[in-house]
Amino acid sequence: MKKAIGSLLVVSAVLLAACNDNAESQSSENYPEKDIDVIVTWSSGGGTDITARQFLQAAEEETDASFLVRNVTGGAGAVGWNEARQSESDGYTLTVLTADILIHSANEANVTLDDFEPIALMSQYPAVIAVDADSEWEDLDDFIETANERKLSIANDGLGQNDHLTAMQLEEEANLDNTFDHIPFDGGAEGIAAVLGGNVDATISNVPEIASRSDMKVLAIFSQEENEEMPDTPVIKEYGMDIDAGSFRMIAAPAGTPEESLSYLDDLFETAYNSPTYLDFAEESNLSPQYMNREDSKEMLNSRLDVMTQLLEKVE
């Protein structure tokens, strides 16, 4: 009798496990069956928020689900990303990664790239080095020549942050005799004001922030490819340097999200990116649209993280 009961319990357990596996499989196959939460870690109305909402609006045109955006700010993205990583990995919570996730990762903070599955890059805007339009420097070669003769100052968005690390890369790639005097400011606007006020020689900025300014001169774009918004401005590759720097906006899911859901979103977001709803709006609004699928997004993130980690080890 005991053997019979024991056998019955084993069979029941096997059947229950099979039912659970089958239910999970069917759930993934039917994805999405409800609306999807999206955590944006920057404030409503900002560039990241606007980009994400327009991109997700385009995605909604291709699926029955809605994308419900919530702005969870603080800690240079860490507060929202921490909430996202702790969410259930079922495909119904997504977030938007920006370059700050690389800083957190390189510093081995409590939230890192390992907590997420990148899905789709929707925007990427390269960093630039810019000076006063009336400055003595005509191009980056002139600037580098002067930097070898005397110490020059460059504004950034904070020591150990993206712009600072970009300037450090420039020091290394240009093999400068002198390092720059790195001057931190609260943001890009303050750095530009410092240049125009004669308080620093140059600033690290980005294409959207500076493309339309006539009072600033961009010496180089930190990209290997020509920038459509500034086609007449040389990219750093033209100076024989290998620097890819700037920020980006990328949709990601918590680590452990089912492959079926990730694959579905990968295809959906490629379609959304190429739709007029997103692409026309992004180009007209200078949101620097650029697309990468899951595989390419992950490769780009890992490559940049390697560079940042090495540079941060040299920050005093």
Question: Can you give the CATH number for the domain in which 139 is found?
Answer: 3.40.190.10
300 domain residue, yes or no = yes
Q: For residues 206 and 157, give the distance between their C-alpha atoms in angstroms, rounded to a whole number.
A: 11
3 domain residue, yes or no = no
User: pLDDT at position 208, please?
Assistant: 83
Number of H helices, E strands in the chain: 11, 10
Indicate the pLDDT class of residue 105, thresholds 50, 70 and 90.
very high
- Which residue would you say has higher pLDDT here, 3 or 234? 234
66 and 110 in a single domain? The answer is yes
Q: How far is CA 264 from CA 13, 35, 53, 125, in A?
A: 32, 14, 19, 26
167 and 188 in a single domain? The answer is yes
User: pLDDT at position 313, please?
Assistant: 87
Q: For residues 49 and 53, give the distance between their C-alpha atoms in angstroms, rounded to a whole number.
A: 6
Range of the domain at 216: 126-239
User: Of 194, 220, 239, which residue constitutes the final position of a domain?
Assistant: 239
pLDDT tens digit sequence for 161-216: 889 999 999 999 999 998 999 999 887 889 999 999 999 999 999 888 888 899 99
What does pTM read for this prediction?
Answer: 0.83
151 and 230 in a single domain? The answer is yes
- Which residue would you say has higher pLDDT here, 217 or 158? 217
Say yes or no to pLDDT of 35 above 60: yes
120 and 146 in a single domain? The answer is no
pLDDT tens digit sequence for 293-316: 999 999 999 999 999 999 888 886
User: pLDDT at position 222, please?
Assistant: 95
Query: Count of CB atoms within 10 A of residue 294's CB?
Result: 21
User: Of 211, 239, 267, which residue constitutes the final position of a domain?
Assistant: 239
Total domains, the chain: 2
Average per-residue pLDDT in the chain?
89
57 and 89 in a single domain? The answer is yes
User: pLDDT at position 241, please?
Assistant: 95
Residue (of 207, 194, 196) closest to 155 by Cα position: 194
What beta strand segments (E) does the chain contain? 36-40, 67-71, 93-97, 116-132, 153-156, 181-184, 202-206, 216-221, 246-254, 289-292
138 and 60 in a single domain? The answer is no
Question: Do the Cβ atoms of 274 and 115 come closer than 8 Å?
Answer: no
Question: Do the Cβ atoms of 226 and 235 come closer than 8 Å?
Answer: yes
